[in-house]
Amino acid sequence: MPDAEMAALLRAVLDEVCVDLAPSELAMRERVAARLIDLVRSGQCSVDDLRRAGRDALIRAPTMWL
């Protein structure tokens, strides 16, 4: 579990990366959050690494065919 400072950093990066998502896109926001948490658990937690991983999670998100 991240400490308060790390949690604040993760929240800030998540908000920054997801700023253009519609409020209804909770699944996408959760996907980005999960990727950020995975990165921190692996020991990579620079702000640049987190931003890059968050943007990558948005770009590589699975799409649904209608």
What is residue 11's predicted lDDT score, i.e. its pLDDT?
Answer: 96
User: Does the structure show a pLDDT above 60 at 66?
Assistant: no
**Cα dihedral 38, 21, 48, 2 sign:** negative
pTM of the model: 0.83
18: confidence class by pLDDT, cuts 50, 70, 90:
very high
| 58 CA to centre of own chain | 8
Q: Round to whole Å and give the CA distance between 20 and 22.
A: 7
